[in-house]
Structure 1
Amino acid sequence: MDDSRDGIAAWREGRAGRIRLDRPAALNALDLPMVRAIAAAMEGFRDDPAVHLVVVDSAAPRAFCAGGDIRALRDDLVAGRTEAVDTFFREEYALDLAVAQFPKPWVALVDGACIGGGIGVSVHGSARVATEGAMFAMPETAIGLFPDIGASFFLPRMPGAIGFYLALTGARMKGADAVRAGFATHYVPREAMPGLAEALVRDGVAALAAHARALPPFGLAPHRAAIDRCFSAGSVPEILARLAAEDTDWARETTATLRAMSPSSLMWSHALLRAGAGRDLAACLRAELALAHAVTRHPDFLEGVRAMVVDKDRAPRWSPATVEAVDPAAIAALAG
């Protein structure tokens, strides 16, 4: 198998099927042709007895994958192509489930930004290797969306309340911290990644243990107790109240971050994660697909993408403008 099309390259090398994300001008942001090309490569590798594992990496120096192509999704919505938006989410989430169910080891080599959809094609696999240059984030509340691609399954299962903290604030987990949080499974310095890739092709997943390095202390360690106290709350208003009670610089900075996000997005994201704690991955993805259909029609999504991606003025006008003004019944109807 040797193929290069639609933003990826796919080929067989030694024991491995190789998938390389190769849309560098867009930082490998996923569009529908890329999703379909990855799915097609997976199917070929699934049925190839010479392929013992799949190794996914990036041709873009700055990113593994910068998420879904939200600018294109906004363009579709503005043009009235709502079915195209639904199709993208449906096929992206099907790809995420296929990664989780893939019968052979799935190893993602992550260097640079790994955001949203990039996490979807890595975190559900059997191994995720992060370098010191890797950066994982779920920043969807800043654009009026929600942490998707199965995030309502894996974020509530992170240590303590870290997943809720990451979901609502969009905080970045870099390098070895991504392993501590649960986005990645192994930490390997950037300079050692080419050697790891060669060893995986030659020796299979046994190469991971030989290349992984010990983890430094968790960067969030000074705030772990406060994160658990505040973000274990049963509602977003209660999280804000607990942050106010902390009366620390970290709590005030975190509150300011939350207040800048879409209030509606904070609410439906929090509700989705709480429900996801009791669902399996397939059920989480079904709930996320239904929510994606609803919230991409909400004014905050168009406004958030406009402010953060299109015009880049970083001054979104949310509707409603505050958490206190959001109707909890409306949120429950969407994400309960």
Structure 2
Amino acid sequence: MSDDVLLETRGAVGVVTLNRPKALNALDLGMCRKLQPALDAWAVDPAVKAVVIRGAGGRAFCAGGDVRAVAASAGSAAGEEQERLSREFFRAEYALNHRIHHFGKPFIALVDGICMGGGLGLSIHGAYRVVTEKLVLAMPETAIGLFPDIGGGWFLPRFPGEAGTYLGLTGARCSAADALWLGYATHHVESVRLDAVLDALVGAQWGSGAASAVAEKVLADFHADAGTSALAVQHGAIDRCFAAERVDDIQQALELEGTPWAQETWATLLRMCPMSLKVTLHQLRMGRTRDYDEMVTVEYRLSQAMTARQDFREGIRAVLVDKDNKPRWHPATLSDVTDAEVEACFAPLGADELVLPVPPR
């Protein structure tokens, strides 16, 4: 575990390197537990003016949270280990995201390659996201019986129009140009220049003004055009088809749209977990009017409800273990999922509710 996250201070910059390249830098419980105190310390250290986070290996920033480990623990006797790991992992991951969201100094993510699920949690909550031409951005949780967590209920509804609904339900992949249009990315830089970006941040004159102004000046000097966003081109159809309050109505809207894109999109939704689709749409609609801290509590409730279901283990099997991409969902269809079952996933947890402390600034 100790080598899975590398921490160093270079000049006035705290540097985090996610160092599990063979696992595409997937975030596990040990990594969360190592990162949290480091960020707390840097937040109150006057010598540290900014924090940079990056991924090792050149293929991924972070491919997500290590949900495979949570699912694998379900094989333990009576499921007690799975329940414990699910509770501890999501508590630690959400606390880490919360720490980043409320970080009082420039938090700069250098997002090169794959960034999915938990990778967005490590990046979108900070002040700056620098993406490269290698970016593959997605929230693919509905394919494994989960939902777009790590704050997805808060940030997806704040993407343009219904783009967040589309991405949260379908798990569609985004390019650097898409990420800029969405507002996820703040800057685009060629992958080969990322080391130079870090060197420039380390060598910046942090005493010359506000830390945010210094960071912005450095990043602006490296920013390059990313081209046209395919999502932006398609946004009219996305807004028409994904504005509905029910997944069934989204289906009807896609049928009316009748284009190859609409047909392909509905075919994608048919492969997703029906329970996940309905829970996710309810989550995203709720998130329109709630702030981030409120949605963290909601998402923790969902994390415990959804990981306890057989669909989660089946999704992990089909997508990440056997890789046959033929999950057997229960309930099997959207019409089989009742509103009462969806609402039950949002129920308060009583003494087990997630309570996050106010982070030091």
TM-score scaled by structure 2?
Answer: 0.90
Gaps spanning 5+ residues in structure 1: where? none
**Given the alignment, which residue of 18, 39, 42 partners 1:42?**
39
Shift of 1:260: 0.3
- State the distance in 2 between where 1:22 and 1:161 align: 35
TM-score scaled by structure 1?
Answer: 0.96
Gaps spanning 5+ residues in structure 2: where? 205-213, 348-361
Count the aligned residue pairs.
333
- State the distance in 1 between where 2:315 and 2:121 align: 21
For the residue of structure 2 that corresponds to 1:28, the secondary structure is: coil
Matches of residues 238-257 of structure 1 in structure 2 within 5 Å?
238-257=249-268
For the residue of structure 2 that corresponds to 1:129, the secondary structure is: strand
For the residue of structure 1 that corresponds to 2:230, the secondary structure is: coil
For the residue of structure 2 that corresponds to 1:286, the secondary structure is: helix
- State the distance in 1 between where 2:228 and 2:97 align: 30
* C-alpha contact (below 8 Å) 2:157/2:285 kept by paired residues: yes
**Given the alignment, which residue of 318, 332, 335 partners 1:321?**
332
CA-to-partner distance for each residue in 1:13-62, whole Å, 9 max, x for gaps?
02200001001121111111000111122122112211100000111211
Other-structure match for 2:115:
114
Other-structure match for 2:202:
201
Answering whether residue 30 of structure 2 is matched by residue 33 of structure 1, we say yes
Shift of 1:176: 2.3
- State the distance in 2 between where 1:8 and 1:113 align: 18
CA-to-partner distance for each residue in 1:237-285, whole Å, 9 max, x for gaps?
1101100001110000000000000010000011001101111111111
RMSD: 1.3
Shift of 1:6: 4.7
Other-structure match for 1:75:
72
- State the distance in 2 between where 1:255 and 1:335 align: 26
- State the distance in 2 between where 1:92 and 1:152 align: 15
Other-structure match for 1:288:
299
For the residue of structure 1 that corresponds to 2:315, the secondary structure is: helix
- State the distance in 1 between where 2:345 and 2:152 align: 17
Percent same amino acid among aligned pairs?
47
CA-to-partner distance for each residue in 1:190-209, whole Å, 9 max, x for gaps?
12212111111111512011
* C-alpha contact (below 8 Å) 2:64/2:115 kept by paired residues: yes
* Higher deviation after alignment, 74-83 or 138-147: 74-83
For the residue of structure 2 that corresponds to 1:173, the secondary structure is: coil
Other-structure match for 2:126:
125
* Higher deviation after alignment, 208-217 or 315-324: 208-217
For the residue of structure 2 that corresponds to 1:313, the secondary structure is: coil
Other-structure match for 1:298:
309
What letter is aligned with 1:313?
A: D
Answering whether residue 232 of structure 2 is matched by residue 235 of structure 1, we say no
- State the distance in 2 between where 1:147 and 1:124 align: 15
What letter is aligned with 1:48?
A: D
* C-alpha contact (below 8 Å) 1:107/1:129 kept by paired residues: yes
What letter is aligned with 1:246?
A: E
* C-alpha contact (below 8 Å) 1:24/1:59 kept by paired residues: yes
